[in-house]
Amino acid sequence: MRLLRFLIIIAIIVVVSILFFRVYRSPIVVPGEYPTIQAAVNAAVAGDRIIVRNGVYKESIVINGDKNSIKLIARGDSVVLDGSSLLLSPVGITLEDNASSVKIKGFRIINYDTGVLMDGAKSCLLTKNRIYDNTRGILMNGTSTNNSISNNIISKNGNDGINIAESSDNVINKNYIIKNNGNGILIDSTNSANRITLNYLLKNGMDGIQLNGDDAQIIRNESLKNDLVGIRISGSNNLIRNNVSVDNEVLDIENTGANQYLDNEYETSNLP
């Protein structure tokens, strides 16, 4: 009987160990295991973590739907994606073809046509990146949904800091969006139910926030000293609440459509 119990315990330990090692995979390290980030992405399977060490990586990264739930993590203060030597209007990081639950964290992304492109991305997270000196910071399109852009610094891009088109139910939260030549945040063309909260928008070359869509929530943002309008809303059933929009060149708030404004701080507007 004791032998039987012992064998059962051993069998359980073996089965649990096998299951553990099947489920847990150690991180892929760049450049330790692969010389480029794209090579590591190509080798990864769904759910893998890729750790990228300090260095300048002159490449464009593409992550598609067969790499769902991978995590691309910069480990260090100087992990730089640099597109200055690439041709054909490169993109720093592309999430496409229903890429889902991908996390991008901690990169400096510079000198691209578009820093990050989310084309049909679902439930992805961009966080704690510094995206600057690109033609455009972040572009989201292709009916991307349920993504989060949070805690990034997006500055000094040649056009918009963040541009969202034909995408819904996304969150833009706690970003510093400063001195972009276009709009700080532009949400344009058949968008609905996006949520813009707790962002700081300063000295952008056009509007701080421009929304063309419906059912959005614009809450607790600061939009200051932008060259055109602090918060410009066109659409219906949008909630604009508890924002500070002051010292903008043309108007602090401009509204077109049936929208709700509550407890905002502003000096100039076309509101009744």
pLDDT tens digits along 53-64: 999 999 999 999
Q: What is residue 20's predicted lDDT score, i.e. its pLDDT? A: 40
Dump pLDDT digits (tens) for 212-257. Answer: 999 999 999 999 999 999 999 999 999 999 999 999 999 999 999 9
What is the rounded distance in angstroms from the CA atom of residue 253 to the CA atom of residue 91? Answer: 33
Coil, helix or strand for 247?
A: coil
Q: Where are the alpha helices (DSSP H) in the chain?
A: 2-23, 37-43
What is the rounded distance in angstroms from the CA atom of residue 71 to the CA atom of residue 92? Answer: 16
The residues, any chain, with a CB within 8 Å of residue 18's CB and separated by 6 or more, are none
- Say how far residue 143 (Cα) sits from the centre of its chain: 15
DSSP state, 269?
A: B
Across the range 91-104, mean pLDDT stands at: 96
Dump pLDDT digits (tens) for 170-208. Answer: 999 999 999 999 999 999 877 789 999 999 999 999 999
Task: Round the CA-based radius of gyration of the chain to a whole number and report it.
Answer: 22
> Is the separation of the CB atoms in 72 and 47 below 8 Å?
no
Dump pLDDT digits (tens) for 113-126. Answer: 999 999 999 999 99
272 cis-preceded (ω within 30 degrees of 0): no
What is the rounded distance in angstroms from the CA atom of residue 150 to the CA atom of residue 195? Answer: 12
What is the rounded distance in angstroms from the CA atom of residue 218 to the CA atom of residue 250? Answer: 20
What is the rounded distance in angstroms from the CA atom of residue 26 to the CA atom of residue 49? Answer: 8
Q: What is residue 4's predicted lDDT score, i.e. its pLDDT? A: 57
Type of residue at 99: A
> Is the separation of the CB atoms in 162 and 184 below 8 Å?
yes
